[in-house]
Amino acid sequence: MLRALLAIRPLFFVVSLTACLLGIAGAHADGVEIRLVPVLLTLLLTAMIHAGGNILNDYYDYLSGADTLDPDGGLPPFTGGRRFIIPGKLSPAATRNLGYALLVLVIPGGLWLTATSGTGVLLIGLIGIVLTWGYTAPPLKLIYRGLGELTIATCWLLVTIGADYVHRHSFALTPVLTGLPYALLVAALLTINQFPDRQGDTLAGKRTLVVLLGPANAAATYLLLALAAYIWVILMTDRGHFPQTAALAVLPCIATLAATRHLRAHLDAPKALAPAIRLTIVAALAHGLTLSLILMLATRQTH
């Protein structure tokens, strides 16, 4: 049981749960009633899909050799997979079964939310599960086709849209506006995580941004993704889509700039990138949680 719990990487659930909070907070700011049971169920189902995706990603990386071809083994716990299969902590079959079981267990809760909130929940959930599974699993193998970063950004944006839909019972522009900058910051996090795995990813045939562009250009892309997120917040605040206090959600750019400096200074030493990765995680979470809090405290409709 402990091995299974560690294999799903529960500490990283905060990334997906923050995306949920953005959706809930945006709906609240629009005057939508927020209900406790749907909130708790949405958080639970999101964590389960995230966990299932983590497990299946490890399983299919094991099959492709992505985690074994790199003699340096990435930079745990941020990259290189959890390596529960490689040391024999979990068998390949047990890992696969655990991943698929988590995704299957999402179905009952998803159907209940669909019945109480609308068919859009089912559509969002299906797309999210397919993208989560197809990230490394054949035949899609999206990360092998140069679509990994886009897939991750889409998944996290879908989480925000889904969390909003559960309460609003319809699609709206708000969760797209609020979720997009966070999705871009998560894509930046994925990008910097790829630096320590570059050798293994190249040998396994993964077409990540670091593999396709090379370290220097990938570092520039990392910064552009983050800056696009912060500029988006400023634009939305200026145009009245966000409360004026939402400008505070740009402050994590300080951590992003510090991470960028560290990244550029250690392009040829990916093992030294742990501080930059930590700063990137802090920047994404600080932005998401700050914007969520501001929207939850909003007393007027933002649209």
Report the pLDDT averaged over residues 83-101. 76
**81, 83, 86, 91 alpha-carbon torsion, rounded to 10°:** -100
CATH of the domain at 61: 1.10.600
Decide if 39 contacts 180 (C-beta within 8 A): no
The answer to whether residue 80 scores a pLDDT higher than 80 is: no
Decide if 170 contacts 32 (C-beta within 8 A): no
Identify the three-state secondary structure at position 205.
coil
Decide if 32 contacts 167 (C-beta within 8 A): yes
The answer to whether residue 1 scores a pLDDT higher than 60 is: no
Decide if 148 contacts 208 (C-beta within 8 A): yes
Q: What is the pLDDT of residues 142-154, one digit of tens each?
A: 999 999 999 999 9
Query: One-letter amino acid identity for 204?
Result: A
Q: Is residue 302 part of a domain?
A: no
Which two tokens mark 248? 């505070």
| pLDDT-based confidence at residue 2 (cuts at 50, 70, 90) | very low
| pLDDT-based confidence at residue 216 (cuts at 50, 70, 90) | very high
Q: Which of 60-74, 182-196, 229-243 has the lowest mean pLDDT?
A: 60-74
Q: Is residue 120 part of a domain?
A: yes
**Looking at residue 301, what is its pLDDT?**
45
Q: Is residue 137 part of a domain?
A: yes
| pLDDT-based confidence at residue 288 (cuts at 50, 70, 90) | very high
Q: Long-range contacts for 29-35 (Cβ within 8 Å, ≥24 apart)?
A: 29/174, 29/243, 29/295, 29/296, 29/298, 29/301, 29/302, 30/168, 30/172, 30/174, 30/301, 30/302, 30/303, 31/301, 32/164, 32/167, 32/168, 33/167, 34/167, 35/167
- Give the C-alpha separation, 249 to 210, whole Å: 28
In the numeric block, the tokens 């659930």 are attached to 13
| pLDDT-based confidence at residue 180 (cuts at 50, 70, 90) | very high
**Which one is predicted more confidently, 78 or 274?**
274
pTM comes to 0.91
The answer to whether residue 9 scores a pLDDT higher than 80 is: no
Report the pLDDT averaged over residues 76-98. 69
Number of domains present in the structure of the chain? 1
**What residue numbers bound the domain in which 104 lies?**
2-297
Q: Look at residues 271, 114, 72, 285 and name the one whose alpha carbon lies nearest to residue 189.
A: 285
Is the torsion defined by CA of 279, 281, 285, 288 positive or negative? positive
Q: Which of 6-10, 32-36, 64-68 has the lowest mean pLDDT?
A: 6-10
Q: Is residue 303 part of a domain?
A: no
**Looking at residue 66, what is its pLDDT?**
67
